[in-house]
Structure 1
Amino acid sequence: MHIILSIISIIAAWVRKDYKNWREFYPTMQYIAIGNLTYNFLCASHWLWRLSPDIKWFNYTLLEMAYTFFVFPFTALMFVQ
């Protein structure tokens, strides 16, 4: 499910041609990613929510990295346009 969501967010940004203006919105994409990394660092023992991986080898750390570096920036790119 999570891998499919990552692929869908990349494809959606590609189809909408949002990737052409990524340099203009790069600070926003970084803000979203850094905010998620900061949340994961500060709230390491007190989670508001915790994603559970669907595949055994795709552990929680890989899942958070996929969301931080792919899903969140690409969805932010789609919404700020």
Structure 2
Amino acid sequence: MHILHCFIWVAAAYKWGDWRNFQKYYPTMLFFVLGNLTHAVIFYNFPQWFYVSSFLPHNLINIIAAFTIFPSTILLFSPYFPEKLSNKVLYILKWVTLYTLVELFFYSIGLVIYLHKWNIFWSTLHNLYQFPILKLHETKPLLAWSFCAVIFAVIILIFKLPLSSIK
């Protein structure tokens, strides 16, 4: 199911993504992937969620998703970003809803489990800041990186990540 999920995102990006401007979005794709992989390393021994599969380990699913779903998301999210403020808010909320509902579906069928007090509330909150930061990265990458550093620190504090668990 996880592989099918990745395939659906790639297929959607193939059909509707802005491949002509791939180079424009490439830095933000890398930013998205690197943020996910940084989280995976920092929280390796203290995971907040876990992908369940009968034949693929969590870390492999995470890597495959990072290199398929996240670049596909950028190719679908960024090119259609509206100009008007009210439309921007609605657009971001649509993406937050999509990401949250997909995760909720995977959770409901047992393909994602939450650990260490993480739950769908935290995922939704994450999605609420994730999409604006992705858009910010396109024009002000250093500011986006700064926000991410602060967010990582806050998450570490809120979830009481033992420093001894960091790889």
Under TM normalisation by the shorter chain, which class is it? 0.7 to 0.9
The 2-side partners of 1:20 and 1:14 are apart by 11
Match of 1:35 in 2: 35
- Are residues 5 and 64 of structure 1, via their aligned partners in 2, closer, same or farther at CA, if it must alter by over 3 Å? same
Structure 2: which 5+ residue stretches go unaligned? 80-167
TM-score, length-scaled by structure 2: 0.45
Identity %: 30
**For the aligned residues, what is the CA RMSD?**
1.2
Cα displacement (A) at 1:76: 2.0
Q: Which residues of structure 1 form unaligned runs of 5+?
A: none
Distance 1:18 1:52 in 2: 32
CA distance in 1, matches of 2:18, 2:29: 12
Compare CA radii of gyration and give the structure with the larger one: 2
How many equivalent pairs are there? Answer: 79
Structure 1 runs of 4+ aligned residues shifted over 3 Å read: none
Q: Deviation of residue 33 (structure 1)? A: 0.3
Q: Shift of residue 17 of structure 1?
A: 4.0
Q: CA deviation at 1:5?
A: 0.8
The answer to which structure has the higher helix fraction is: 2
What do residues 13-68 of structure 1 show as CA deviations (whole Å, max 9, x unaligned)?
Answer: 11114222111000100000000010001011222211112x32x22222011111
